[in-house]
Structure 1
Amino acid sequence: MIGEMKAQQEEIELLLSAFDRLVEIPDEERVVFRTLIERKTIPAQSHFVLIGEPTADIGFCLSGLFRLYYTTPDGIEYNKNFCGKNEFIAAYSSLLMKEPAYFSIQALMDSELLVVPFRNFETLFDRHACWEKLGRKIAEGMFISKERRERELLMLSAEERYRLFLGRYQHLENRIPQYQIAAYLGITPVALSRIRRRLT
């Protein structure tokens, strides 16, 4: 039990270190934050967020891998992004607008998160300016990622997108099925196979 508590404290410090790269958090605010956070295990193929359902939490990935994906009315899935260790994960616009999620977040392998209820995170904004700044920094990071992704889908060829994927996520290529990579690139698995053969 003591060992588990120590491990969780180390994990929370890891998250606070990630915060420190964005904004300085005073010691008294760190103490308050520790009371709001919990650890959550998401088994492989289970969902952290499900499209059309309410979402409540912001997560920080300790281990494992997630995909963020849209589902069309006829059941076709398009991977929006992947999220792994030391990355923030949330359906952020749904949290801000208090609306059901527009996309799903699924664990591709057994994964561990540190989770903060967004309503609790919002209460911190009135406590200290550092939390408002942190929320802005997280939102800015998500916006930059979204804009970059849109540009790639609209302006680059499938082969160029695959090359970027390899540069950005090379460590994932053999950890996830090829059809998941194809869904991220916006092409069919057959088209991905052709690109891979051409490059090899």
Structure 2
Amino acid sequence: MYSALYNHINRFIDLSNDEQEILASLLKSFSFKKKAFLHEAGETCRANYFVVKGCLRLYFIDIKGAEQTTQFAIENWWISDLTSFIFQKPSDFYIQAAEATEVIIIERRNYDELFEQLPKMEKYFRLIFQKLHQASQMRIKYLYSQTAEERYTSFNSLFPEFVQRVPQYMLASYLGFTPEFLSKIRAKK
């Protein structure tokens, strides 16, 4: 049932069959239809989501009332409002299914128990969070150091699957420009 997650974890640490059973007791799985909300702004984020199939996005509403996508997650990626999840504070973000999506979740109430029962999972999540932090830093760098067209070209070469799967307005929001501008860039290609 959780084989995709076990395979992902085993890329970073080794979990025995007994440890996988302990982990399974702390997990849940859900399916969400396209456009369904897993989490809404104003709520406290109570789960960290591992995408088995599909695509999720994390976004906020800016001062002009526009959606600003800050993160996507496709198969084998984690997504959450980590600040809200870890510190149990109200969130400014939404998590929405960009496609029909299947997830495995670890709820906040089981998070500490997970680390107590499976201490090596702290290493796994440390490595995952390091990768997430690095990706966030590079995204910020690209937003400030590249033109809009360079950001699109770079993103398209690094993550071509997103360009095909994600609605244009979500991709444009993530890359820091309007859907109309994205249409002009694509028309040039």
Superposed pair shares fold, TM > 0.5: yes
Task: Describe how 1:105-120 pairs up with structure 2 within 5 A.
Answer: 105-120=95-110
C-alpha contact 2:148 2:175 (8 A) present in aligned 1: yes
Percent identical among aligned pairs is: 28
What is aligned with 2:8?
A: 18
User: How far apart, CA to CA, are the structure 1 residues paired with 2:16 and 2:91?
Assistant: 33
Which 5+ residue runs of structure 2 have no aligned equivalent?
none
User: How far apart, CA to CA, are the structure 1 residues paired with 2:24 and 2:166?
Assistant: 33
2:169 aligned residue (160, 179, 195)? 179
Q: Displacement, 1:187?
A: 0.8
1:54 aligns with 2:18: no
Paired residues, number: 189
C-alpha contact 2:51 2:101 (8 A) present in aligned 1: yes
User: Is the partner of 2:159 in helix, strand or coil?
Assistant: helix
User: How far apart, CA to CA, are the structure 2 residues paired with 1:118 and 1:16?
Assistant: 19
Q: Displacement, 1:171?
A: 2.2
C-alpha contact 2:58 2:80 (8 A) present in aligned 1: no
What is the TM-score of this pair, normalised by structure 2? 0.91
Q: Displacement, 1:133?
A: 1.3
What is aligned with 1:4?
A: none
Query: Aligned pair in 2 of structure 1 residues 166, 96: CA closer, same or farther (>3 Å)?
Result: same
Q: Displacement, 1:141?
A: 1.9
Task: Describe how 1:112-191 pairs up with structure 2 within 5 A.
Answer: 112-191=102-181
Deviations 1:15-69 (A, max 9, x none): 1111111122243322211111111011111111212211111111111111221
User: Is the partner of 1:138 in helix, strand or coil?
Assistant: helix
Which letter does structure 2 place at the counterpart of 1:139?
A: F
Query: Aligned pair in 2 of structure 1 residues 68, 108: CA closer, same or farther (>3 Å)?
Result: same
User: How far apart, CA to CA, are the structure 1 residues paired with 2:18 and 2:104?
Assistant: 20
User: Is the partner of 2:30 in helix, strand or coil?
Assistant: strand
Q: Displacement, 1:172?
A: 3.0
Q: Displacement, 1:124?
A: 2.2
Which 5+ residue runs of structure 1 have no aligned equivalent?
1-7
Which letter does structure 1 place at the counterpart of 2:29?
A: R
User: How far apart, CA to CA, are the structure 2 residues paired with 1:132 and 1:173?
Assistant: 33
Q: Displacement, 1:104?
A: 1.3
Which letter does structure 2 place at the counterpart of 1:79?
A: T
Higher Cα Rg, which structure: 1
Q: Spell out structure 1 runs of 4+ moving beyond 6 A.
A: none
User: How far apart, CA to CA, are the structure 2 residues paired with 1:22 and 1:187?
Assistant: 35
